[in-house]
């Protein structure tokens, strides 16, 4: 299959992790597919492989993260080889530490502000989200995830999506969150990411370098003209 997705502002992003789970769930329901069914879905970010699980969730092989800053793209100076990890960025009069990861689409991950760990309740997402999205260091704009660490295997995250603003969840963002968390030494390679819309379970496999995202997708309604 092939998937295309459009943001609320009309722009077309490369990928949507939540969208691909929904597409897989829809196709599986139409097919009457059983657990273990795997689909191959072409996106602008490459070939993505969702697999239906016995508990009704969808596990998605999201491929390998892109860590080279220039490919994200960002003009922030690399801190580890060609990778941008915990680089300071001034936004709205505060100093935020930003790590950049591409999952085929760009993400800026923020774990710290003014030298302190992020507390989500203190982040004014509607104010600073647009400032990050259109910051000059992100020439193609960026999705921005603000992350609060509960433990190495459990974080909270909220997201300001490029072209869509505040959303309840972001699958590619959850994947990028764990990659950045590992690079910054803040999370394990297997981590639960709690978003306003619910949890996702992310694994960055050390052997294959691939990221696996597992989460629900449920039928809501159908309509017609």
What are the residue numbers of the active site? 16, 170
Relative to beta strand 58-61, strand 46-52 is: antiparallel
**144 near 110, Cβ under 8 Å?**
yes
- As to burial, measured by CB atoms within 10 angstroms (0-12 exposed, 13-18 middle, 19+ buried), residue 114 is exposed
* Strand bridging mode 116-117 / 106-113: antiparallel
Structure letter (DSSP) for residue 75:
-
DSSP class of residue 2 equals B
CA distance 213 to 87: 26
Closest-CA residue to 138 (of 186, 182, 73, 211):
73
Enter the tokens of residue 148: 């609060």
Written as six digits, the tokens of 222 are: 């159908």
């Amino acid at each position: 299959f092939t998937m295309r997705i459009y943001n609320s502002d009309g722009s077309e992003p490369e990928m949507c992790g939540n969208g691909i789970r929904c597409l897989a769930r829809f196709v599986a329901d139409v097919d009457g597919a059983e657990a273990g069914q795997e689909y191959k879905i072409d996106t602008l970010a490459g070939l993505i492989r969702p697999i239906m699980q016995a508990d009704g969730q969808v596990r998605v092989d999201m491929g390998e993260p892109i860590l080279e800053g220039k490919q994200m793209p960002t003009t922030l100076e690399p801190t580890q080889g060609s990778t941008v990890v915990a680089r300071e960025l001034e936004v709205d009069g505060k100093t935020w530490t930003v790590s950049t990861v591409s999952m085929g689409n760009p993400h800026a991950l923020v774990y710290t502000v003014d030298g302190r760990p992020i507390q989500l309740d203190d982040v004014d997402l509607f104010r600073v989200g647009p400032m990050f999205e259109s910051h000059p260091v992100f020439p193609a704009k960026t999705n921005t995830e603000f992350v609060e660490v509960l433990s190495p295997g459990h974080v909270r995250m909220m997201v300001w999506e490029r072209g869509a603003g505040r959303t309840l969840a972001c699958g590619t963002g959850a994947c990028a969150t764990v990659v950045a968390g590992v690079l910054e030494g803040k999370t394990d390679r297997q981590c639960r990411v709690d978003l306003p819309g619910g949890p996702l379970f992310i694994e960055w496999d050390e052997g294959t370098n691939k990221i696996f995202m597992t989460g629900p997708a449920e039928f809501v309604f159908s309509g017609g003209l």
